[in-house]
């Protein structure tokens, strides 16, 4: 183990190599942890909401929505007839 008060110039070649290897191990571990956290965040923030939305859409009954859209369409057609009648009135 090297003394922390020694500068890099005072270390032997073997001690310098040991320090480099220790640094590389720390950086490798830090990258692995960063990758795992990134993967977990991706799963939680992207994949999970998409899957939840997909299953929610499968459970929603859209027949009521179709009825409402049909009623709106019928109402707009009848409004068109009312507008035609108003345009045909003498002025």
Average pLDDT, integer, range 4-30: 88
- Select the more confidently predicted residue: 16 or 7: 16
3-state helix, strand, coil in the chain (%, to 5): 85, 0, 15
pTM of the model: 0.55
- Confidence band, pLDDT 50/70/90 cuts, at residue 32: very high
Domain coordinates in residue numbering, the chain? 9-60, 61-91
């Amino acid at each position: 183990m090297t003394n922390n008060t020694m500068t890099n110039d005072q270390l032997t070649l073997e001690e310098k190599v040991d320090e480099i290897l220790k640094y590389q191990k720390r950086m490798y571990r830090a990258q692995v942890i960063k990758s795992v956290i990134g993967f977990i965040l991706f799963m939680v923030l992207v994949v999970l909401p998409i899957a939840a939305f997909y299953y929610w859409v499968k459970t929603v009954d859209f027949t009521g929505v179709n009825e409402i859209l049909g009623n709106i369409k019928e109402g707009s057609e009848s409004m068109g007839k009312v507008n035609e009648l108003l345009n045909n009135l003498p002025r």
